[in-house]
Amino acid sequence: MPQISIILPTFNVEKYIKKALDSCINQSLKDIEIIVVDDLGSDSSIKIAKEEALKDKRIKIIHNEKNLGTFASRNVGALNSNSPYIMFLDPDDTLALNACELALKEIKEANLLRFGFAKIDEMGGGYRKKFTKL
């Protein structure tokens, strides 16, 4: 059983999905599953995800029967996860390569989880913001 499931609701994100998947595939914690939920977009997002799934057995693709939107697609992913912890990632975002490892460590050691995020623009500039006690 994987320790963390990362769920990516996917709709017309072919420009970003490879980078998002790479950030999941290359996590320092390898005992994860990556669930891509196809929300029936019209681009090549799912084709890209399927190509990656052929290379990495941790990637599972679920196809919605109709377009459900992001929130419901996350729920579909959660219902199909096989781990005690779930992480949601929008496919136009990326995870730090140690995000799953740090999240699991925080949960187990401190019994709480703190998140931070960094917004990086195309020129490499950005800012960081921290959230605590989630």
Rounded Cα–Cα distance for residues 105 and 46 (Å)? 32
What average pLDDT does the segment 17-29 reach? 98
Whether the predicted pLDDT of 133 surpasses 90: no
Instruction: Find the mean pLDDT for residues 92-111.
Output: 90
- Structure pTM? 0.86
Q: Which of 121, 84, 118 is nearest to 104 (CA)?
A: 84
In the chain, where does DSSP find H-type helix? 17-25, 45-55, 70-79, 99-110
Distance CA 98, CA 81 (A): 21
Residue 129 pLDDT > 80, yes or no?
no
Mean pLDDT of the chain: 89
- Residue 110 φ then ψ, to 5°: -105, -5
Q: What local confidence, expressed as pLDDT, does residue 131 receive? A: 43
Question: What is the dihedral angle through the alpha carbons of 28, 56, 10, 103, rounded to the nearest 10 degrees?
Answer: -20
SS3 category, 60: strand
pLDDT confidence of residue 127 = 46
pLDDT (tens digit, 9 = 90+) per residue, 41-100? 999 999 999 999 999 999 999 999 999 999 999 999 999 999 999 999 999 999 999 999
C-alpha–C-alpha distance, residues 113 and 131, integer Å: 9
pLDDT band for position 109 (50/70/90)? confident
Which is higher by pLDDT, 60 or 105? 60
Q: What is the pLDDT of residue 37?
A: 98
Provide the pLDDT for residue 117: 66
State how far the Cα of 84 lies from the Cα of 101, in Å rounded to an integer.
Answer: 14
